Amino acid sequence: MDVSIERTQIPGLLMVRRLVHRDNRGWFTEAWQQAKMTALGLPDFGPVQHNVSHNAARGATRGIHAEPWDKLVTVVHGSVFGAWVDLREGESFGATYSIEIDESVAVFVPRGVGNSYQALADETIYSYLVNEHWRPDLVYPALALDDPTAAIDWPIPLSQSEISDKDRANPTLAEVTPFAPRPPLVLGGSGQVGRALLRLLPDAVAPARDELDLTDPAAVEAYDFSGHDLVINAAAMTAVDDAETPKGGRLAWRLNAELPAQLARRAGTDRFTLVQYSSDYVFDGRAEEHDEGEPLAPISEYGRTKAAGDLAVTVAPRHYLLRTSWVVGGGGNFVATMARLAREGVSPSVVDDQWGRLAFADEIAAATMHVVQRGAPFGTYNVSQSGESMTWAEIAREVFALCGRSREDVTAVTTAEYGAGKEMAPRPTHSTLSLAKLTATGFEPTGQIEALRGYVATLRDGRERPPQGSATREGSERPPQGSGSRLHQGSTTEGD
């Protein structure tokens, strides 16, 4: 392989080894190769400026500077001893890494990590790509080259090095104000997945509808995304049957397709990572298990809007599309309704010819943070509980048993029997999602039965988290459709 990428002890700081072609004329290497490098995990950081630093004599030393942009550093001529210190807020503050760089090595440096180097040869030329334009008014953290805490082992003693007066005046680590990260932005924070995300991201910004109306394209276009490195869109219109109506269809197309397209475009211009949630409804449900590469084949208007949103999101340079099924979270949902019916002595009829797995909102949120924080390759990941596929009736029977009722108190009906005489959108027969790609990143979802037992226990003792904010379709699941002893299963099939 002509390119390889290695992680370092500083989160996000990546070392790139490159093939160098040599002959009698000299050498050639690919300093930045988007397709190869991003496929291996280097962020597609969108460089906008190329800087070159000439170092006349061996020993010239520069840094340590933590600029507010990402950079990819290379050496065009000579060699340097590169050293980096994490100056970002967090557990890794003060962590160091160093390596000698020549034409065969490059290093990706995320914003907030202090960058420095020492020329090891005369006429060394140091080059770097950055994704923000330099401005003379920028203020950012810097660190003394001889800071005793960082304890960088410079090959050439600093007393024998050429150092600028400005760098000699840099503070020690104890005096540095850490580089503050940009807070995540969560859209649809009042929904099931949105609320679960905010429990994991207490510093996130989650604008209310009066602050940002996601149904208004102009409002989204005018919103300032520049203060966020991560934008999570947990907003959606999830009323499957209403999406078949003219009014509901317009709202579904706006929130499920147009909004993701807007965000994907802004992700490119404002250089943030975009997380979007998808649904098993983008498939026709014929395959017993759906992997991430299965062609989209929606059979309902709701599914078509979600499929359009999925396609739109893929144009974002840095995106995670997390596809879910049968979502359960705070507020009205299938499991909570079954538990209530069990307590009230009702014996419901529940559809028994649709198969899938539940996806609890807390599990979806945890999987989201796992792929983002681990730096998993961008793309699509399926997210649900693990374990055997079950029908809605089987899940209902499990809930009844956990509530002390007989499993036989739940009567099985077919989808056709339930839908007789009703205006209903078609549902996928099979909604089970393959989890192989997600587990390959190191995330192991909790088993469906185990998660179900834990959730029902919270309902019994009153610990189930109540919904926060208003239950609007912009960012929240609709309670299950139907009432009385017969319940339709399909209103909580998709993430917020």
Report the candidate in 108, 97, 152, 151 with the shortest Cα–Cα distance to residue 131: 108
Length of the chain (residues)? 496
pLDDT 10s digit of each residue in the chain, 496 long?
A: 689 999 999 999 999 999 999 999 999 999 999 889 988 888 888 899 999 999 999 999 999 999 999 999 999 999 999 999 999 999 999 999 999 999 999 999 999 999 999 999 999 999 999 988 888 888 899 999 999 999 999 999 999 999 999 999 999 999 999 998 899 999 999 999 999 999 999 999 999 999 999 999 999 999 999 899 999 999 999 999 999 999 999 999 999 999 999 999 999 888 899 999 999 999 999 999 999 999 999 999 999 999 999 999 999 988 999 999 999 988 789 999 999 999 999 999 999 999 999 999 999 999 999 999 988 989 999 999 999 999 999 999 999 999 999 999 999 999 999 888 888 899 999 999 999 999 999 999 999 999 999 999 998 766 554 333 322 223 333 323 332 233 333 332 232 3
**Backbone dihedral angles phi then psi of residue 443, each to the nearest 5 degrees:** -100, 125
Closest residue by Cα to residue 392 from 493, 303, 323: 493
Is the CB of residue 126 less than 8 Å from the CB of residue 107?
no
Tokens of 429: 């027969």
Output the pTM of the full model: 0.81
Quote the CA–CA distance of 378 and 79 in Å, as a whole number.
33
Domain spans of the chain?
3-175, 185-460
CATH topology of domain 3-175: Jelly Rolls (2.60.120)
Same fold? 3-175, 185-460: no
Rounded to whole angstroms, the Cα distance separating 186 from 458 reads 26
Indicate the angle between helix axes 259-270 and 301-313, nearest 10 degrees. Answer: 10
Q: Which residues contact 401 (CB under 8 A, 6 or more apart)?
A: 407
Cβ-count burial 437-461 (b if 16+ within 10 Å, e if not): bbeeeebebbebbebbeebbeebee
CB 45 within 8 A of CB 70: yes
- Least Cα distance to 400 among 353, 454, 337 occurs for 337
pLDDT tens digit string along 208-228?
Answer: 999 999 999 999 999 999 899
Burial class (CB in 10 A: 0-12, 13-18, 19+), 15: middle
Burial of 481 (0-12, 13-18, 19+ CB in 10 A): middle
Whether 98 contacts 10, CB under 8 Å? no
Q: Which residues are catalytic?
A: 65, 128
Q: Class assignment of domain 185-460?
A: alpha beta
pLDDT at residue 375, as a whole number: 84
